[in-house]
A and B are shown apart, each in its own frame.
Chain A
């Protein structure tokens, strides 16, 4: 019995802090493939935009929340070194009636979280729509494939 209770005790904080549940969750929907190709001068010299690329669905029933995003991965071919990254997300619209502090400017993603918006507590699920932008990489990026992962985080106090 003691061992059983001890196991419950050890597991309970982890589940409390990290579980997604029906009342509180963040869902990221990619509406198309998020792949960019640069094989012509104009691709290197101009921004490329994938319209309506990402939908962020938020339900935050227990508390207000903050939604942020960062690059959790940005891997390039041999020779690639940078501290600035060419990926931006650009807010376009929402059906939310509970959002505030929406950052409506294109956000250049980095490896540090940046706030996208806040949402007041609500029973409803709201969608937030984003374009994805590849900033003109120019002529100095090494040839090859770059893989990136955008991590969206919903935080409740």
Chain B
């Protein structure tokens, strides 16, 4: 018994000599919930377009960089465009009721082919998730309106719907 106690005492001294720093802990916990976030912004939209010369009717009117579109998204995205109606809405007396949406063409600036508008959705651009400053998330569009000579003079209006969605 005496030997045992001596051994214990020796061990205790040994522990004291090599004791590590004492530490005490506490915790706090929480969550971060990240949902799908998408944002679309238009700038520099052109207002009324006037057809004043014969050339306007022969060739149509093209507006390069008619608008700037900025996309913010934390998912890979797709931007589609469609006309809100199959025909332009006559806004003045005598204007035709049968001028189709396809008179209006839209393309992404830097591409060659205009998409003729109709009520079906067409993909204007796709992109990767990122802020508006991310490569490809801010771009310009060109528009062309080419009614030819088949419609009465007057004022016309048509709505164009841009739809931003997840790829």
Contacts and interface: CB of A to CB of B under 8 A. Distances in A.
Interface of A: 1-2, 5, 8-9, 12-13, 16-18, 20, 24-28, 30, 33-41, 43-45, 53-54, 56, 63, 72-73, 86, 132, 134, 137-157
Interface stretch (B26-34, B56-64, B82-90, B157-165): B26-34
Interface of B: 1, 4-5, 8, 11-12, 15, 19-37, 39, 72-75, 129-131, 134
A25 B4 CA distance: 34
Contacts of A72: 27
Contacts, number: 146
Given A43-B37, A145-B33, A146-B34, A155 B75 contact: no
B25 A151 contact: yes
B19 A17 contact: yes
B129 A152 contact: no
A139 B129 contact: yes
Contact of B30 (A20, A26, A33, A152): A33
Nearest to B3: A2
A5 B35 contact: no
